[in-house]
Amino acid sequence: MTDTDTQKQAGYTAKDIQVLEGLEPVRKRPGMYIGSTGVDGLHHLIWEVFDNSLDEAMAGHAGNIEVALLPDNKVRIADDGRGIPTDMHPKLKKSALELAATTLHAGGKFDSGAYKVSGGLHGVGLSVVNALSTWMRAEVRRKPDIFAQEYKIGKPQGPVKKVGSTKQTGTTITFQPDGSIFPDTTFDLPTILNHLRQQAYLTKGVKITVTDGRNPIISEGKKGKTESVLDYTFYFEGGIVSYVDFLNRGEESKHKNIFYAGKDTNGIFVEVALQYIEELTSRELSFANNIHTIEGGTHLTGFRTALTRILNDYARKNGFIKEKDDNLSGEDVREGLTTVISVKLRDPQFEGQTKAKLGTTEARNAVETVMGVEFADWLERNPNDARAILEKVILASKARLAAKAARETVLRKGALEGMTLPGKLADCSSRDASESELFIVEGDSAGGSSKQARNRHTQAILPLRGKILNVEKARLDKMLASQEIRALIIAMGTAIAEEFDLSKLRYHKIVIMTDADVDGAHIRTLLLTLFYRYFPKVIEGGHLYIAQPPLYKVQKGTKIQYAYNDAEKEKVLDQFRKDLPIGRQVLGKTKKTKSADGEWEVSTVDGLPVDGNGAVEAVEDPSRQGEAEDGKIAGVSIQRYKGLGEMNPDQLWDTTLNPENRMLLQVTVKDAQAADKIFDVLMGSEVMPRKKFIQTHAKSVQNLDI
């Protein structure tokens, strides 16, 4: 060991070990407790307090929960449960309310007798919210008294006090997120509504009310001014059956009756509801103690195993498939499936603090057991529904085998095995995927211009001829028959379906670059549908973008500015107006008249009067200074681009391809379920939902080019 090492070791003593007391660890590392300090983490504060109220409802002690968004980004959550205990803790000599609000791992969820099941962060929820709020107030109604305590940055501002009397019970928590922790403390109402609607479906019989009082609506009537706020109420007696019905609204169902089972086995309460629809994809939502396990887990695995086994047994028993036939695969039996799986269990084991995946082994056995008995019995009691389901999944099985054959034909000697890239692809010279970009353009005209404009080292161009196949309702074998789609798959290098491998992606930026007109928008939607349905990991990886070519070129002399929409065009024109003060020379068509002494003088420029020096004279309306009679600005030309092919290569490079100037929109799917619905509506076979969507949103269209 060197002298330097010895000195470093000697300088590292007990005083260098940082001990975080109370709620300091939460403020030091908030991401460990709520996932992030972004928008998701901000809303997680509401979920944590709400989960405490929901635990009361799941335990049978509460029937109503109210969530109110208040001015100054405050939130109030109230329930009619038993109310947090306020008496003194026998060992710590502090009020139980203060302990729950200020101490990590102090809560009723650690006592096996307090809650049979619970969500939240196992008792740390309220204290974490308190630590990450500039201010919080807890008010507890425990008949006949009302108790309250306030906090600032997690610290009590006084003891728990009696503040009134009541005949009710319950808890009300009001908090204000800390702006020094969260960059943005503005809550999003749709996010809150979607989450709480989901919770209402999962806890049938509980009434959840959401009120947005941040911007009251003021109206005048006979009694003077009145204020009103937006409020929403969720209450579902049908529970997850209602949820499946909600998810499948507007879809063509394969069978009328929604299967439901709710049963307790070995201390785990299992609920399953499912229905098949005329769709090629599946929707499987799994929950553990009302926590949405986005990544699934043991309960989802148990469901899938049981579903595949039961349908194979029924199909063979009733002659739908012969002994020599292959079994139905898990992929086959899940095509067109919508299901909600909910388990409620004591002390669930999750993978990760944010509980995206359930790891409790017993949950798999419980779900398999319930499905094995209840779904098998339901098929026997509902033969018509069973037949409809089997016809659906057997068709899926045949299509899978056909798709496999088509896929092997297309990809057997594909890009992964050295097959030459499609001839229409103008590839880049770089083989570093991290710097390579693929631009998908429409038509040969735009393709030619793009190929001349690009940076050949890092930018590849793939022109598509016409509109690609609408894959929303097309199976894989039909899709792979499309020459344009095959070219795109081979160019990307990832293969497709079971062979898909994101690590083989040849370009880390795939850019959809279509014209700014109706046809361009249609082609863009078709491509987005293709990626969403068959290459979701490309989107999840942040590799898909949409180029934003300009709509207008505005030019005055040698000065050129581009505008990407009408609003930007007006801003550019306003700037040009400001650049034309009285007395400044302008360019434009001139008109000369002969003076009395025989000299030719400029009298107008683009119809505007000028002085003897050829500068614009004053006009009566200052706002029209430098502007002609028809509203055009003197010397300014406006070009409206109808397509990328109209742009010169240098213009296309400057505006759309040059990384220093261009505007790219990254495609993300924040809410996959909502996106799935939109694609169904816009690209599906049903006309009425699409017509209704267009009628509803027509007035919000900002730029319609027909």
Average pLDDT estimate for 268-285: 92
Same structural domain for residues 504 and 438?
A: yes
- Rounded CA separation 160/158 (Å): 7
Q: Is 442 a catalytic residue?
A: yes
Q: What is the pLDDT of residue 11?
A: 46
Question: What number of residues does the chain have?
Answer: 706
Summarize the confidence of residues 354-380 as an average pLDDT. 92
- Does 501 appear as a known binding residue? no
The answer to whether residues 545 and 557 belong to one domain is no
Q: Give the pLDDT band (50/70/90) at residue 672.
A: low
> Distance between the two ends of the chain, CA-based, in angstroms?
79
Instruction: Tell me: pLDDT of 584 over 70.
Output: no
- Residue 702 inside a domain? The answer is no
- CATH number of the CATH domain containing 295: 3.30.230.10
- On the CB side of 224, CA atoms within 13 Å amount to 0
What's the rounded Cα separation, in Å, for the pair 410 and 481? 9
Residue 114 has φ and ψ, to the nearest 5°, of -75, -45
Query: Who wins on pLDDT, 434 or 114?
Result: 434
Residue 115 confidence class, pLDDT cut points 50, 70, 90: low
Alpha helices (H) along 358-434: 361-381, 383-411
- Asked if 266 and 348 sit in the same domain, the reply is yes
- Distance CA(547)–CA(439), nearest Å, equals 9
Q: Average model confidence (pLDDT) for the chain? A: 80
Q: In which band, very low, low, confident or very high, does the pLDDT at 455 lie, cut at 50, 70 and 90?
A: very high
Q: Does residue 401 sit in the same domain as residue 293?
A: yes
> Does position 623 have pLDDT exceeding 70, yes or no?
no
| pLDDT at residue 140 is higher than 80 | yes
What's residue 702's pLDDT? 43
Using DSSP's 3-state secondary structure scheme, residue 358 falls into strand
User: Do both 272 and 404 map to the same domain?
Assistant: yes
Query: Which structural domain, as residue segments, surrounds residue 330?
Result: 240-408
Is 284 within the bounds of a domain?
Answer: yes
| Shared domain check, 265 and 403 | yes
79 is catalytic: no
Structural domain ending residue among the three candidates 233, 266, 295: 233
Q: How confident is the model at residue 523 (pLDDT cuts 50, 70, 90)?
A: confident
Give the pLDDT of residue 616: 46
pLDDT in the model for residue 628: 43
Quick one: 623 and 669 in the same domain? Answer: no
- Per-residue pLDDT for 74 more than 90? yes
Catalytic residue among 427, 515, 606, 654, which?
515
b/e sequence 346-379, b meaning 16+ C-beta within 10 Å: eebbbeeebbbbbbbebbbebbbbbbbebbbebb
Residue 697 one-letter amino acid = H
- Residue 544 in any domain: the answer is yes
Residue type, 259: F
Q: Is the pLDDT of residue 120 over 80?
A: no
Report how far apart, in Å, the C-alpha atoms of 331 and of each of 255, 308, 407, 501, 686 are. Answer: 19, 9, 16, 18, 25
Same domain, 396 and 364: yes
| pLDDT in the model for residue 589 | 44
Q: Which residues have C-beta within 8 Å of that of residue 219, sequence separation ≥ 6?
A: 225, 226, 228
Compute the chain's Rg from CA coordinates: 33
**pLDDT (0 to 100) of residue 45:** 94
| Alpha helices, H only, 64-188 | 96-102, 125-131
pLDDT of res. 361: 92
Q: Which residues contact 375 (CB under 8 A, 6 or more apart)?
A: 259, 261, 272, 306, 307, 310
What is the per-residue pLDDT for 694? 52
Banded model confidence at residue 9, pLDDT cuts 50, 70, 90: very low
Highest mean pLDDT among 173-177, 220-224, 327-331, 532-536: 173-177
> Which among 331, 519, 568, 611 is annotated as catalytic?
519
> Do the annotations mark residue 442 as ligand-binding?
yes
Q: For residues 446 and 649, what is the distance between their CA atoms, to the nearest angstrom?
A: 10
Residue bearing the bigger pLDDT, 73 or 684? 73
Domain count, the chain: 4
- 144 cis-preceded (ω within 30 degrees of 0): yes
How confident is the model at residue 291, as a pLDDT?
A: 86
Q: Does any domain span residue 2?
A: no
Show which of 182, 200, 233 is a domain's final residue: 233
Q: Are residue 325 and residue 183 in the same domain, yes or no?
A: no
- Considering only residues 477 and 348, tell me which one the structure prediction assigns the higher pLDDT: 348
* Residue 5 counted as domain residue: no
Shared domain check, 545 and 513: yes
Give tens-digit pLDDT for 390-431.
Answer: 999 998 888 887 777 766 665 554 444 444 567 788 999 999
* DSSP single-letter state for residue 655: I
**pLDDT band at 638, cuts 50/70/90?**
confident
Residue 416 placed within a domain:
no
Q: Which of 40, 517, 646, 686 is catalytic?
A: 517
- Residue 696 is assigned to a structural domain of this protein: no
Q: How far is 405 from 65, CA to CA, in rounded Å?
A: 54
Q: Which pair of tokens denotes residue 463?
A: 């022109």
Residue that is last in its domain, among 208, 233, 258: 233
Task: Specify whether 246 is located in the same domain as 331.
Answer: yes
pLDDT at 18: 38
Q: What is the pLDDT of residue 177?
A: 96
Q: Answer yes or no: do 263 and 354 share one domain.
A: yes
Q: What is the pLDDT of residue 105?
A: 63
Place of tokens 């020459």: 483
Percent of the chain with pLDDT over 90: 41
CATH number at residue 165: 3.30.565.10
Q: Which amino acid is residue 440, in one-letter code?
A: I
pLDDT tens-digit readout, 533-558: 889 899 989 999 999 888 888 888 77
Rounded mean pLDDT, 512-527: 82
Is 383 within the bounds of a domain? yes
Element (H, E) at 176: strand 169-177
- Annotated active-site residue 611? The verdict is no
* Given the residues 442, 484, 606, 654, the one annotated as active site: 442
Predicted pLDDT at 473 = 64
